[in-house]
């Protein structure tokens, strides 16, 4: 089974990523990996920290001569900011005078619930792990999953469909979304310049007023055959796995599959995607759909259409003009703590969500097609594709 985990704190020495369960023989492209990490660092509305960091993944194990060898892949991503925190957050007991307390919890952050739960006198250690810095390690794991999917012709991409109240105003193609990954300036990762200008204006207002802003990203998986995931057990359904994977990202408060939200307010005759048998032969089967409101998922199984997963991001909870809070020490009403932060991270969250979706789909692909080597997995995959083509 494909598994991954991460370790590391925002201002610790390094992030750590561990991926296991990949077949041997998957080509690993370090340039692609680092480009994915670069993409996550970009976006209009990012804060000062991203000018300090330059994320790269240092692969320690599981890859030899440019290919996976079947054993766990361990990676480290150095935090450049560590040099400013070595004395504040040492592994050893260090000098308590140098401790930098997060003295009043930020509404919306894990600060208060975490400090209560772990019995910490302030929220420093909670912030350190709850921080979205952790998502860099997920992106490193996700890049490896994407390399496996790419070997099978399956692609994963994301774009931003909304920032604050500014929404993407037109339909877009997968090719347009995929092309965003090659942009030199990510800006707001929106394919439509007019919509992107409106999104930028929303970020500018937040920047000016000491506020923060959320939005919506959409991840699309292209060329995934029907039959990945299953309806038979609740915890094997691909829709449920995707929802959990994306919901687990920092600041995500809702996940939508296909037109899930508007479907609840629309008649069934207008929601479900009528089936025809007139495909051009280019698809996985000759069955075709007039629309993709289901977002490529029916009954927890991929149906051959593009998989569409949307994540709704709340505004970052660290505000330059902080909300009311209470001092951990005195219990008196005060302002919530403020530390340098971002104003808008919707494009970055989209990249992190691509990683989570890629890891989830790769896990189900490996479960379905098995194989200890990519060669074996590809053979099983091709055999299945032939089977459904002649269904
Ligand atoms: C974050 C606070 C900021 C963000 C950070 C998430 O970091 P710092 O406190 O060092 O300025 O930049 O995100 C990242 C470091 C990242 O790599 O995405 C927080 O408190 O959640």
pTM above threshold 0.75:
yes
127 lines ligand 1 (CB under 6 A): yes
Residue 279: pLDDT over 80: no
pLDDT of residue 94: 96
Tally of CB atoms within 10 A around 314: 15
212 lines ligand 1 (CB under 6 A): no
Q: Give the span between the Cα atoms of 362 and 47, in whole angstroms.
A: 32
pLDDT of residue 280: 72
What is the mean pLDDT of the segment spanning 30-48? 97
321 lines ligand 1 (CB under 6 A): no
Distance 124 CA to ligand 1 centre (A): 13
Which residue has a Cα nearest atom 19 of ligand 1?
Answer: 131
Distance 128 CA to ligand 1 centre (A): 9
pLDDT of residue 263: 97
pLDDT of residue 282: 80
Q: Give the span between the Cα atoms of 71 and 24, in whole angstroms.
A: 8
Distance 49 CA to ligand 1 centre (A): 6
Distance 78 CA to ligand 1 centre (A): 14
159-187 pLDDT, tens digit per residue, is 999 999 999 999 999 999 999 999 999 99
What is the mean pLDDT of the segment spanning 349-360? 99
Ligand 1 mutation pick, 109, 131, 139, 345, max ligand atoms within 8 A of CB? 131
Q: What pLDDT band is residue 361 in, cutting at 50, 70 and 90?
A: very high
pLDDT of residue 163: 98
Distance 82 CA to ligand 1 centre (A): 13
- What's the CATH number of domain 3-389, 3.60.150.10, 1.10.645.10, 3.40.50.300, 3.30.70.930? 3.60.150.10
Q: Output b/e per residue, 111-121; b: 16+ Cβ within 10 A.
A: bbebbeeeebe
Distance 10 CA to ligand 1 centre (A): 7
Answer yes or no: are the C-beta atoms of 327 and 227 closer than 8 Å: no
What is the mean pLDDT of the segment spanning 365-373? 97
243-266 pLDDT, tens digit per residue, is 999 999 999 999 999 999 999 999
141 lines ligand 1 (CB under 6 A): no
The domain ranges of the chain are: 3-389
pLDDT of residue 278: 80
pLDDT of residue 205: 98
Which residue has a Cα nearest atom 20 of ligand 1?
Answer: 131
192-246 pLDDT, tens digit per residue, is 999 999 999 999 999 999 999 999 999 999 999 999 999 999 999 999 999 999 9
Question: Apex CA 191: angle with CA 189 and CA 192, to 5°?
Answer: 120
- Note the residue count of the chain: 391
Tally of CB atoms within 10 A around 30: 14
């Amino acid at each position: 089974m494909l598994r991954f985990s991460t370790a590391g704190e925002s201002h610790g020495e390094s992030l750590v990523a561990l991926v296991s369960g990949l077949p041997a023989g998957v080509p690993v492209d370090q340039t692609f990996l680092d480009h994915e990490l670069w993409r996550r660092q970009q976006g209009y509305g990012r804060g000062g920290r991203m000018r300090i960091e330059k994320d790269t993944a240092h692969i320690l194990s599981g890859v030899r001569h440019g290919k996976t060898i079947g054993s766990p892949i361990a990676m480290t991503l150095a935090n450049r900011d560590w040099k400013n925190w070595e004395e504040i957050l040492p592994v050893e007991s260090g000098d308590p005078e140098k401790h930098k307390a997060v003295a009043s919890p930020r509404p919306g952050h894990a600060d208060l619930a975490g400090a209560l739960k772990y019995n910490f006198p302030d929220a420093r250690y909670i912030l350190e792990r709850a921080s979205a810095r952790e998502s860099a390690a997920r992106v490193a794991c996700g890049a490896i999953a994407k390399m496996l999917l790419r070997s099978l012709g399956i692609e994963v991409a994301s774009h931003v469909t909304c920032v604050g109240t500014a929404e993407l105003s037109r339909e877009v193609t997968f090719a347009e979304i995929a092309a965003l990954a090659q942009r030199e300036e990510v800006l707001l990762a929106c394919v439509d310049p007019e919509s992107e200008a409106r999104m930028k204006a929303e970020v500018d207002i937040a920047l000016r007023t000491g506020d923060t802003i959320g939005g919506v990203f959409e991840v699309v998986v292209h060329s995934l055959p029907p039959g990945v995931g299953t309806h038979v057990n609740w915890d094997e359904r691909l829709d449920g796995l995707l929802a959990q994977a994306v919901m687990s990202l920092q600041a995500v408060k809702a996940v939508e599959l296909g037109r899930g939200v508007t479907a609840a307010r629309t008649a069934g005759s207008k929601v479900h995607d009528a089936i025809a048998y007139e495909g051009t032969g280019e698809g996985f089967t000759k069955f075709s759909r007039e629309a993709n409101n289901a977002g490529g998922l029916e009954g927890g199984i991929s149906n051959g259409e593009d998989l569409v997963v949307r994540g709704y991001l709340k505004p970052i909870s660290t505000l330059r003009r902080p909300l009311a809070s209470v001092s951990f020490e005195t219990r008196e009403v005060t302002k919530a703590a403020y530390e340098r932060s971002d104003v808008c991270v919707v494009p970055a969250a989209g990249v992190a969500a691509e990683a989570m979706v890629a890891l989830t789909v790769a896990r189900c692909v490996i479960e379905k097609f098995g194989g200890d080597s990519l060669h074996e997995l590809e053979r099983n995959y091709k055999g299945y594709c032939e089977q459904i083509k002649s269904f």
